Structure 1
Amino acid sequence: VSISPSARSSGAKGISNVVSPSYTGFGIEPSNVFSFTGFEQPNEFSLTLMRNLANYSGAPGWLRLGGNTGDYFLYDPNFQEFRMDTNKNPTGQGNIPTDLYYIGPAYFKAIERFLEDTPITVGLNLAYNFVDWQQRITDMAQAAVDGLSNTKLVSFEIGNEPDLYGQNGFRKPSYGGPDYVQEWLDRANVVYNKVLAPGGFPKAFFEPAATASTIGTSFLIDVLVENGILQPNQSSSAVGSTDGFVSAWNQHDYFYFISVSPMELTMDYLAKFTSTETQFKHWSQEIGDTLKDHPDIPYHLREMASVGPVGQVGISDTFAATIWTLNFFLYSATLNIASVQMHMTDNSFASPWQPMSHPEKATEPHVRPSYYAFAAFTQLLGHCNGTTQIAPVSVNDAPSGYGEYLRAYGVYSANQLTAIVVLNSKLALASDPSPPSIDIQLSFPDNPGRPAYLSYLTAAGADTQSSADTNWNGFIFSDVDGTLIPADPPVGSTPNRDAVVGTDSTLSVSLRDSEAVIVS
């Protein structure tokens, strides 16, 4: 196998824009915020795991506080407890009432426990549609503005997955994109004039939610634009004006969604990189078209995971999902997605860690293997000091049966090739006494004699479910307190090592099945 990236970003085909140090973030379901932040006392386990990643990349990851339950919440300034309160007499419309829960000032006090300057996107309830909706939505927006000072409020998301409003009873069955655009503009206008403008915030501070999963609806971005989502206000005809409310596009996707995705979910299906590329084909086209038509409006993937809605045991919580996650961060960056928030709930096997005890799942707090993909990617970002660009690189002469399982990327800093990432997702199980490996010749053009270091993301096998049997660059993360612990890689994995690029500007590396390496 040979991999030959360009020596400079200017010659790299498909090179990304500069990737933000906050690129890899999390979406936390609003009803689960306290599970991750802690209730009366901070959840130091979660906070340490987030701090690890910020230390690697140089900046906190972007957090989106949104999801289905965001459209069930109202704000009550008199409710002071560190939890959400259930409305005993809800009257809101919907299969789940739009006023089912209340939160108070403690909600934002808990969020303030996150790292300083953590970029925060806060979801606002669009589903609630009674006569007092203006007061309700501005109460929540004002509470966010007033309550978030250590962290950094950077945008509001108005509504969660409105293309599903017709089927979940929030609106009439015929509810479509034009209806949504009008309601979205009405609410953006009210929140801007009553909350943001008096506080000195910009007008472009809102993210419209595009279609969730029902491709071909009137909620696609180009259709939302046709219906006026970019208008400065609901009475203007200046479509595309830079004086509008839209700060970014807000897309959701899951690689696989239980009871929705038609194919059978297996570990091998997840492991095949071609599965992700096929599933994401529509979105990759939309991203390209949207950024071409609106280059000044970033495109964020605000809700993503390997399996939705709450993962799949034996798949989402395995090392196979770790390789998938690292590849997805690299792949999505080459599409010029501005950031990716992997969605987290306290009962999801796809969450990178279990934040608290969960009786229904019979589990205690622990780190899942997928967290190690965050560690590897954020350390890569930090290595490039805020100038990271990523490009896909062809894998030449792949052995028979490996074409769907091998991917490579060139990583650039200040225009220079600084690292090569190679991922081998072909399944090797922990029970395999001698898993296969492949030899790879890497080219570092114009760099003969260059020192290199081989950092491996590895585990006992693709089916590994424990942090203790997973390893990134010679470290594991404690299930007790989330800290880094030096540890030897599992038996059968490839050791991290120093190396030197040869006089012919090539370097030979070995990569076991179910393993990834970053050569820097």
Structure 2
Amino acid sequence: MRLFVVFLLSCIARASVTVYSQVPLAKPTISVGADGNYTGAAAYDPAVLQAPPVPTGLPTQFNIQLAAQSSAVNGLSIPQSGAFMGFSIEFSVISYVCELAQRSYLTPSHSKYLQVPFLNLMALIRDRAGEVRIRIGGNSQETASLVDSLDDGKMIEKHEVILNDTTQTPSLVYTSEVFYTMGNISSLVNARWWLGIPLNDTSNLRLGIAEVGEQVLSPNNYLLGFQVGNEPDLYADHGNRPSGYGPQNYTNEVGIVIDAIDNDSQIQFRNNLVVPSISTTWSQQSVWDTGLVSTYDSEIGYLAVEYYPDNNCYAQYGIGSPRVPQDVFSDYLNHTSGQLIVASYLNSTAYAQQMGKPFLMFETNTASCGGFPGVSHSFGASLWALDYGMQMAYGNFSGALLHVGGQGVYYNPFTPPPGNLSGLAQWTIGSVFYSALVMAETLGHTGSAQVVDLNANNGSIYTPAYAIYENGAPARVLLLNYVTDPSGASDVSVAISTGGSVPSSMMVKYLVAPSVAEKFNITWAGQTFGGFFESDGRLQGAPSPSTAQCDTNANTCTVRVPAPGAALVFLNSGSAQQDALPTATQTYPTTAATKVLNTVTIDPSALATSNGGSEKNRQLASTSHGELNGGVVRRTVGWGIMLTGLGAGAWAVFWW
């Protein structure tokens, strides 16, 4: 019989749970120097910019006339999933985002347990989209090496910084614990994963990530595929390949990887490789012209690209030219931004359909090299990422992944507290996570959503609108307003007609904030994640959807779109309301669940001391392999469970 002292009993099994409010943790102060300037990590930069002035001549009333059947609509997208917008997590920060390791007084090694806020956030997407898609990789995947073990039982360890890499990415070593952690997360929130095969040394390929990743994740269909190289078009610039390295060289190296996989008896699956994952140095057509896709058609599962519309590399690394955040802010505050990005990929999305491959935006966010202070964490970025995501869906991408870095970036969808505060502070949720949440509800969970850009309001770049058709009929409309005008004079009134009779009212959910420059006073249907160090990954407050009244004689419904804001309009009653307001979201606060579906709830008052500084000496549920819903966990609660109080907020779990 073993004993573990537990303070947040979660991540143990997919069982019904009772949710109680978590005891608030301490909120760290923001670092400010003697000159009044911010001196802390980028993720907590309090900089707030000025919203652009109200544009002149903006029409504030317009009509939308929808066809009653999708067959009458030109330019509808391919069917899309609500899981369209997922997350790209830099390999070097996976243990920081997904798993928390602390030294235990019970054992000399580090104890490991899943990050509860991360589970809560992923559950929010899962409950709206059916699943959540996550890529683990980035520049750090290229030098990652699988090892049998690391000191203190750690699952990942950074080595020296790669100096010729513009993103200063550390080399990594990791253990198979990475895959078991991913499998445990998947068993709770139905996450599905892409991983990356290192391509820094094709003479000594390291396929352990494919061998063990497949072994652990494939039995439960948690594995989506393997990326072959990250931004190979930048290899020569970063000094990782000789000058002149080009598309044909990359295609040849993909062949080397495929031959190695074909000769590796430990890798069973095919047709799941992700290529070419280029940025902008090579043209897409130059890669297709090598015959990459046709030559290796049976091995390739996805075509992918990576793109950031701007960069802050001068401020971060002294590379390139200076960019002033206030000057670039307006670039993100209009419909043209997403349209121009996606337009450059339309030939490739058409080619992907011709070749029968999904086309992915495998890594993106507001700006490379960490994003911009005041821009990347603003409500304007929420609207931009939502519009950009919808434009990709309309342009026949099949998915897009918002990148997640460490403490040194501005654009994170979510950021755990610094390691020294991991037991004291809560998470910070970035503005673009709201974009992913809203997009999941906009596309829904049927997998049949088709998107069309309505070119609304005479093509105004400040008030774009999209229609979503499901199973041949109009289902939802998404309206955006990029303008900031606290007077209300720039609020937009939209009369929607569905080509038939309308109900007496329609449900509307609003994404709003006082200004596009706002950082935290953001709400989705009345709920929010709060500010710096204020979130456990659950939406705060009661949901409060709005109602738009309809004129049943004119068969129109009028919806107001605040300036700034977005409105998701549900054209049908009944099931649409159920889809819009998930009522069975499983979250993971101060709650325990067992494999045999017994549910034990811990009174939050009993946990008051557990969230304090002494937490660093206590151990939570393990993420190791064993028998949790498909055999991905080393150690977990067994077939029986007994909870007993130990005093001072502690609880012991015994299993046999």
Distance across 2 between alignment mates of 1:99 and 1:139: 19
Alignment of 1:296-315 (within 5 A): 296-315=356-375
Q: Who is 1:77 aligned against?
A: 148
SS in 1 for 2:540: strand
2:114 corresponds, among 42, 53, 67, to: 42
Distance 1:501 1:33, change over 3 A: farther
The answer on whether the counterparts of 1:474 and 1:496 sit within 8 Å (CA) in structure 2 is no
Pick closer, same or farther for the CA change 1:358–1:327 going to 2, 3 Å. Answer: farther
| Structure 1 residues 266 and 502: alpha-carbon distance in aligned structure 2, compared to 1, 3 A threshold | farther
1:227 matched to 2:290? The reply is: yes
- Matched length: 479
Decide which of 160, 169, 185 is 1:114's aligned counterpart.
185
Listed as ranges, the matches of 1:255-334 within 5 Å are 255-259=309-313, 265-288=327-350, 290-291=351-352, 293-294=354-355, 296-334=356-394
2:494 aligns with 440
- Taking the aligned partners of 1:315 and 1:16, their CA distance within structure 2 comes to 30
Superposition deviation, residue 99 in structure 1? 9.1
- Could you tell me how far apart the structure 2 residues matched to 1:185 and 1:110 are? 31
Q: Conserved in 1, the CA contact under 8 Å of 2:92 and 2:170? A: no
Question: Contact 2:157–2:174 (CA<8 Å) still a contact in 1?
Answer: yes
Q: Kindly indicate whether the alpha-carbon contact (under 8 Å) linking 2:92 and 2:158 is maintained by their aligned counterparts in 1.
A: no
One-letter code aligned to 2:79: V
Preserved CA contact (<8 Å) 2:89 2:134: yes
Summarize the alignment of residues 492-511 of structure 1 with structure 2, pairs less than 5 Å apart: 496-511=546-561
Q: Is the 8 A contact 2:505 2:557 kept in 1?
A: no
**CA distance in structure 2 between the aligned counterparts of 1:319 and 1:256, rounded to whole angstroms:** 18
Taking structure 1 as the reference length, what is the TM-score of the superposition?
A: 0.85
Is 2:172 aligned against 1:101? yes
What is the aligned-residue RMSD (CA, Å)? 2.8
CA distance in 2 between counterparts of 1:75 and 1:457 reads: 43
Unaligned runs of 5+ in 1: 231-238, 490-494
Matches within 5 A, 1:292-441: 293-294=354-355, 296-347=356-407, 348-357=409-418, 365-382=427-444, 385-397=446-458, 403-428=460-485, 432=486, 434=488, 436-441=490-495
Contact 1:120 / 1:151 at 8 angstroms: preserved in 2?
A: no
Q: What amino acid is the match of 1:471?
A: T
**3-state SS of 2:384 partner:** helix
User: Cα deviation per residue 1:107-156 (whole Å; 9 max; x = unaligned)?
Assistant: 22222232334221101110124x4x13xx22222121123255611211
1:157 to 227, 251, 254: 227
In the alignment, the residues of structure 1 paired with residue 262 and residue 428 of structure 2 have an alpha-carbon distance, to the nearest angstrom, of 41
Q: CA deviation at 1:313?
A: 1.8
Once residues 472 and 380 of structure 2 are traced to their aligned partners in structure 1, the CA distance between those partners, rounded to angstroms, is 32
8 Å CA contact retained: 1:444, 1:501? no
Q: Which SS does the other structure have where 2:278 is aligned?
A: coil
Q: Identify the residue that residue 566 of structure 2 maps to in structure 1.
A: 516
1:473 aligns with 2:533: no
1:2–1:397 contact (8 Å) kept in structure 2: no
Residues 391-443 of structure 1: per-residue CA shift (max 9 Å, x gap): 11131357xxxx22111111111111011111111234xxx465631222112
Q: Is the partner of 1:396 in helix, strand or coil? A: helix
Alpha-carbon spacing, 1:516–1:474, altered in 2? closer, same or farther (3 Å):
same
- In structure 1, C-alpha distance between the alignment counterparts of 2:169 and 2:402, rounded to whole Å: 25
Q: Which one of the candidate residues 116, 120, 123 is aligned to 2:196? A: 123
Identify the structure with bigger relative contact order (alpha carbons < 8 Å, sequence gap 6+).
2
Q: Is the 8 A contact 2:273 2:300 kept in 1?
A: yes
In structure 2, the CA distance between the partners of 1:519 and 1:184, relative to structure 1 (3 Å rule), is same
Shift of 1:14: 1.5
Q: Deviations over 1:327-381 (max 9, x none)?
A: 1121110111011111111232211111232789xx9621122222222111223
Q: 1:458 to 1:99 in 2, by over 3 A?
A: closer
Partner of 2:279: 212
Q: Distance in 2 between matches of 1:153 and 1:324?
A: 30
Structure 1 segment 133-148 matched on structure 2, within 5 A: 133-134=204-205, 137-148=206-217
TM (norm. structure 2) is 0.68
Query: Within 2, Cα distance between the matches of 1:351 and 1:487?
Result: 25
Cα shift at 1:300:
0.7
Aligned partners of 1:82, 1:38: CA distance in 2, in Å? 10
Which runs of 5 or more structure 2 residues have no equivalent in the other structure?
Answer: 1-61, 101-111, 314-319, 571-656
**Aligned residues of 2:442 and 2:478 also touching (Cα < 8 A):** no
Structure 2 Cα separation of the partners of residues 486 and 445 of structure 1: 36
Tell me the residue number matched to 1:492.
Answer: none
Q: Supply the AA of the counterpart residue of 1:204.
A: N
Distance 1:501 1:344 in 2: 45
Q: Percent identical across equivalent pairs?
A: 19
Distance in 2, matches of 1:464 and 1:487, equals 21
SS at match of 1:194: coil
Code of the aligned partner of 1:413: E
Distance change (3 Å), C-alpha of 1:241 and 1:85: closer
Per the alignment, residue 300 of structure 2 pairs with: 246
- Of residues 258, 261, 274, the one that matches 1:188 is 258
CA shift digits 1:23-81 (9 cap, x unpaired): 11000000011121023221111111111111112x22211111111112111123373
Contact 1:82-1:110 at 8 Å conserved across structures: no
The Cα of 1:261 is off from its aligned counterpart by 8.8
User: Is the counterpart of residue 461 in structure 1 residue 515 in structure 2?
Assistant: yes
Q: Secondary structure of 1:141's partner? A: helix
- Residue 305 of structure 1, CA deviation: 0.7
The corresponding residue for 1:486 is 541
**Partner residue in 2 for 1:178:** 248
Q: CA deviation at 1:5?
A: 2.3
Could you tell me which amino acid in structure 1 is paired with residue 474 of structure 2?
L
Give the structure 2 partner of residue 63 of structure 1. 134
Equivalent position SS for 2:457: coil
CA deviations 1:445-504 (Å, max 9, x no partner) are 1123354111111112211111xx211112223533121233588xxxxx8225335322
Letter aligned with residue 211 of structure 1: I
1:75 counterpart letter in structure 2: L
Taking the aligned partners of 1:225 and 1:433, their CA distance within structure 2 comes to: 51
Tell me which structure has the larger Cα radius of gyration: 2
